[in-house]
Amino acid sequence: MRDDVAWLIRRGQPPMDLNQIRPHKPGRRMPVRRKQTVGIDLGTTNTVVARNFEAMQLDSGGYVMPSAVAFPPNGATLFGQPARRRRAMDPKNTILSAKRVMGARWHSSYTSQFREHYPYDMRESADGGVEILTRAGVVSPVDAGGTVVRGLCQLTHCPVRDVHAVVTAPVGFDQRRRDATSLAVAKAQFASVRVVEEPIATALAYLNRSSLKYAFVYDLGGGTFDAAVVDCSTYPFRVIGHGGDPYLGGDDVDRTIALHVADRTLSRDGWDLTNDAVTFDRLVNACEVAKCELSEAEGAAIAIPSVDPAAPESCGIIPITRDEVRQLTLDLVRSTFGICDEVLAQASLKARDMEAVFLAGGSTRLPGVVEYIESYFGKRPRSDLDPMQVVGLGASLAAARPAVSELLDPCA
- Quick: pLDDT tens for 48-86: 999 999 999 999 999 999 999 999 999 999 999 999 999
Q: What is the DSSP pairing of strand 54-55 with strand 65-66?
A: unpaired
Dist CA 275 CA 273 (whole Å): 6
Q: What is the DSSP pairing of strand 94-96 with strand 214-220?
A: unpaired
Task: Report H helices in 275-363.
Answer: 277-293, 304-307, 322-328, 330-346
The average pLDDT across 97-109 equals 96
- Quick: pLDDT tens for 148-190: 999 999 999 999 999 999 999 999 999 999 999 999 999 999 9
- Quick: pLDDT tens for 329-347: 999 999 999 999 999 999 9
Cα 242 to Cα 173, 215, 225, 341, 388, distances in angstroms: 11, 12, 11, 10, 20
Range of lowest pLDDT (21-25, 54-58, 83-87, 368-372): 21-25
Residues 15-27 as b/e (b if ≥16 CB within 10 A, e otherwise) read bbebeeeeeeeee
pLDDT of residue 8: 33
312 Cβ contact list (under 8 Å, min separation 6): 269, 271
Measure CA 240 to chain center.
Answer: 21
CATH homologous superfamily, domain 65-147: ATPase, nucleotide binding domain (3.30.420.40)
Amino acid at the residue 28 = R
pLDDT of residue 236: 78
pLDDT of residue 105: 98
Question: Which class for 222: exposed (0-12), middle (13-18), buried (19 or more C-beta within 10 A)?
Answer: buried
The average pLDDT across 255-259 equals 94
